[in-house]
Amino acid sequence: MASGSDPPKQYGITKPLSLLGPVEADLQRTAELEKFLVEAGLYESPDESARREEVLGKLGQIVKDWVKQLTSQRGYTDQMVEEANAVLFTFGSYRLGVHGPGADVDTLCVGPSYVNREEDFFIVLHEILAQTEDVTELQPVPDAHVPVMKFKFHGISIDLLYASVSLLVVPAELDISQGSVLYAVDEATVRSLNGCRVADRIIRLVPNIENFRTALRCLKCWAKRRGVYSNVTGFLGGVNWALLVARVCQLYPNAVPSMLVSRFFRVFTQWQWPNPVMLCSIEEDELGFPVWDPRKNPRDKCHHMPIITPAYPCMNSSYNVSTSTLRVMVEQFQFGNKICQEIEMNKASWSALFEPFQFFEAYRNYLQVDIIAEDDEDLRLWKGWVESRLRQLTLKIERDTYGMLQCHPYPHEYADPSRQCAHCAFFMGLSRKEGVKIQEGQQFDIRGTVDEFRHEINLYMFWKPGMELAVSHVRRKQIPAYVFPEGYKRPRPSRHVNHQSDKNDTEDGTMISSPDSQLKRRHNSVGTDDIEPSWPAKRSSVSPVHPKNSPQSGSSGDETRCNNQIKRAPSDATGGSPASPQALERSPDTIMSAPRCTTAGAVCSGDAINKHDVPHVENCNTPTVAVCTTLKRVAEKVVSELVGSERMGNNNSAESLESMEKAENVCFSGNGVSQGGLPEELED
């Protein structure tokens, strides 16, 4: 038994913020939370669980037979054919133990060096699966960042990846957490292996796996209800939420699920992005694969919400996050923090935390993206392509308005049952950037931005007749009825809505028109919140005949990011120390392709802003401020909440206070990456 003088076990890169365990009230709240999750249907039935195991067993046998078949066809010896093997691994929510009913299963097939991905996996195995009776909706995606084959097997959704490792025979007990598995493989294989390696590492780095699972299951449900669960749209996906929850588990190793959920919101409400969240130090390796390193990789400097994977090669799992989606998530963290405080004071129940976000009441102006196809199968393919590019529309609007017009892409899709063709629609909320002074006659003209987006969408190489896209500007009162649940009654417009962004929604004149028309509008006087702007009826920008022979668009997804995002903050007036991270001034051309800087002032001065009338831009080389996580201030601010307001009289309170003051401080060099991957602790 450890003596009382032994230091507490450290699970992350820093000491815990608090070692306090639960009291009776915490245990009661945890029981109520678990009861809520069960009643919400977040756990699958024993029958479905058994069916998943059966499907995985059958799929494992299929890939073994596939490798043996290829080994025999290529003339290897009978002994080699006998020993030939492929191993099936799982990762994602299934591997972490937080999957729910109907969730897909992320799987990885690891095969020998002579079985490749391009032909053997995507052609030979694809044909085998296509001929398998219980396999439906088979869709290969060989050009994805992580090449994948998607299908349903006996009704269970499967995402199957493939990795060919440098072994002639793959042992059944292969440990892919070992770095040797990455020897002599390409980067696509590394990315394919990374999902399993990250999941295994997370499980090893959390203090209590069951508490972690309950808290993660809760927060994933919360994120879906609040509309911030979608990696492809620019929010966070499953692995991102798992890493954030795991970090909170490390900071509060003795906390039960109800405490972890509450601490999650307290920590990330006050987290000073873009400081990275890391479960362990970033390690270099002689294999030489690129890791997240803002010193060497200019794109890494532009990441808004870095959440770093814990397995080599460490990567930012949340590179899709934009300034707009980060703003939305921070607002939702604030909402969660407020509700959790009320729950701890017995003023609210857990159901209040999971209230769905009223997206269509939160803004006055929206973009509606209608996706149309001839039939359901074409719609599935066309929608997948358009949805994967919606994030680019958000980035382009941020770029062309210099961040003055903010977008809130909503990750839910809707269908109009009255349409004869296959159809679905996505929506984006629009609002001015908070704190921007409204000037008389100011307008945002994003018609050119939308046209550029449509042009890129129409370059889809598998386009078919009937695949169409329409982008429309709609006001709140014009939102179609099919997005609301049956029996829903729209509230009367009010001055205040439950979303912070609404106060920034003004009569901003966001202009979108079809290519063959020009919209003219009167500008309403500013300051009359109850009066909608006198805009014309809903108009749309509709995709024309597919431009098979049209010239390529000038910008593509990731190339629109900047190379200079963070300017050096001004020195504090008292002594020349760097200003707080909140004072960091982001370059207004955050997602311009060229490494240039400009001032926002020129953007705000005109009557109308058009992408063809951008202000003069001068080149500049801006030094990068030291990126440093300063949770000491967070600890000092919340120590009274986390310790004093709960049970400062507890015998462990002094120890807890000391732990809180030893708050996380991951210091970085001037170019933005940790020196040697080791954290520096703040001293008392």
The whole-number pLDDT of residue 298 equals 87
DSSP sequence for 448-504: HHHHHHHHHHTT-TT--TT-EEEEEEEEGGGS-GGGSPTT--PPPP-S--SSGGGGG
- Per-chain mean pLDDT for the chain: 76
Pick from 41, 9, 2: nearest CA to 249: 9
The whole-number pLDDT of residue 166 equals 94
Domain edges within the chain: 46-200, 208-351, 359-435+444-482
Pick from 628, 631, 585: nearest CA to 294: 628
Task: State the average pLDDT over residues 4-19.
Answer: 79
Task: State the average pLDDT over residues 495-518.
Answer: 44
543 vs 550, residue with greater confidence: 543
The whole-angstrom separation of Cα 186 and Cα 196 is 17
Structural tokens at position 645? 């307001």
Give whichever of 111-125, 509-523, 606-620 has the largest mean pLDDT.
111-125
The whole-number pLDDT of residue 489 equals 64
Which alpha helices (DSSP H) does 313-375 contain, by range? 323-344, 350-353
Check whether 654 has a pLDDT greater than 50. Answer: no
The whole-number pLDDT of residue 486 equals 72
Contact 172, 87 (CB under 8 A): yes
Query: For the segment 329-350, what is each residue's pLDDT rounded down to a tens digit?
Result: 999 999 999 999 999 999 999 9
The whole-number pLDDT of residue 409 equals 95
The whole-number pLDDT of residue 345 equals 95
The whole-number pLDDT of residue 76 equals 93
The whole-angstrom separation of Cα 326 and Cα 467 is 32
Check whether 521 has a pLDDT greater than 70. Answer: no
Percent of the chain residues topping a pLDDT of 90: 57
Class of domain 46-200: alpha beta
Query: 134: annotated binding-site residue?
Result: no
H or E stretch covering 64:
helix 46-73
**Which amino acid is residue 105, in one-letter code?**
V
Query: 238: annotated binding-site residue?
Result: yes
Sheet strands side by side (includes 405-414): 405-414, 422-432, 365-373, 468-475, 539-542
Structural tokens at position 152? 């349903």
Task: State the average pLDDT over residues 217-238.
Answer: 95
The whole-number pLDDT of residue 287 equals 82
Pick from 312, 78, 359: nearest CA to 197: 312
Check whether 224 has a pLDDT greater than 90. Answer: yes
Query: 21: annotated binding-site residue?
Result: no
Class of domain 208-351: mainly alpha
- DSSP secondary structure code for residue 188 in this structure: H
Check whether 408 has a pLDDT greater than 70. Answer: yes
Q: How confident is the model at residue 4 (pLDDT cuts 50, 70, 90)?
A: low
The whole-number pLDDT of residue 661 equals 33
548 vs 126, residue with greater confidence: 126
Architecture of the domain whose range is 359-435+444-482: 2-Layer Sandwich (3.30)
The whole-number pLDDT of residue 295 equals 81
The whole-number pLDDT of residue 433 equals 85
Q: How confident is the model at residue 434 (pLDDT cuts 50, 70, 90)?
A: confident
Query: 427: annotated binding-site residue?
Result: no
- Sign of the Cα torsion 641, 646, 649, 651 reads negative
Distance of CA 288 to the CA centre of its chain: 27
Structural tokens at position 489? 């009654």
Query: 92: annotated binding-site residue?
Result: yes
Check whether 611 has a pLDDT greater than 60. Answer: no
Check whether 139 has a pLDDT greater than 70. Answer: yes
Percent of the chain residues topping a pLDDT of 70: 69
349 vs 515, residue with greater confidence: 349
Q: Within 13 A of 210's CA, how many CA atoms are on the CB side?
A: 4
The whole-number pLDDT of residue 5 equals 54
Query: 91: annotated binding-site residue?
Result: yes
Query: 384: annotated binding-site residue?
Result: no
Distance of CA 667 to the CA centre of its chain: 24
The whole-number pLDDT of residue 519 equals 31
Check whether 248 has a pLDDT greater than 90. Answer: yes
Q: Within 13 A of 65's CA, how many CA atoms are on the CB side?
A: 9
Check whether 80 has a pLDDT greater than 50. Answer: yes
Task: State the average pLDDT over residues 387-408.
Answer: 91
| 649 backbone dihedrals φ, ψ, rounded to 5° | -80, -5
Query: 159: annotated binding-site residue?
Result: yes
124 vs 580, residue with greater confidence: 124
156 vs 565, residue with greater confidence: 156
Task: State the average pLDDT over residues 114-123.
Answer: 96
Check whether 171 has a pLDDT greater than 50. Answer: yes
Query: For the segment 453-473, what is each residue's pLDDT rounded down to a tens digit?
Result: 999 999 998 899 999 999 999
244 vs 664, residue with greater confidence: 244
Task: State the average pLDDT over residues 628-655.
Answer: 35
The whole-angstrom separation of Cα 331 and Cα 336 is 9
The whole-number pLDDT of residue 633 equals 39
SS3 633: helix
Candidate from 151-160, 409-418, 630-639 with smallest mean pLDDT: 630-639
Check whether 474 has a pLDDT greater than 50. Answer: yes
Structural tokens at position 641? 């909440």
282 vs 624, residue with greater confidence: 282
Task: State the average pLDDT over residues 595-619.
Answer: 30
Q: How confident is the model at residue 202 (pLDDT cuts 50, 70, 90)?
A: very high
Catalytic residue ranges: 93, 104, 106, 159, 220, 229
Check whether 499 has a pLDDT greater than 70. Answer: no
Sheet strands side by side (includes 148-153): 87-91, 105-111, 156-164, 148-153, 135-141
The whole-angstrom separation of Cα 217 and Cα 207 is 17
Query: For the segment 64-75, what is each residue's pLDDT rounded down to a tens digit?
Result: 999 999 999 999
Candidate from 10-14, 457-461, 656-660 with smallest mean pLDDT: 656-660
Candidate from 21-25, 26-30, 571-575 with smallest mean pLDDT: 571-575
As beta bridge partners, residue 108 has 89, 161
| 90 backbone dihedrals φ, ψ, rounded to 5° | -115, 155
Check whether 154 has a pLDDT greater than 60. Answer: yes
Check whether 479 has a pLDDT greater than 70. Answer: yes
Q: How confident is the model at residue 610 (pLDDT cuts 50, 70, 90)?
A: very low
The whole-number pLDDT of residue 511 equals 53
Give whichever of 280-289, 505-514, 524-533 has the largest mean pLDDT.
280-289
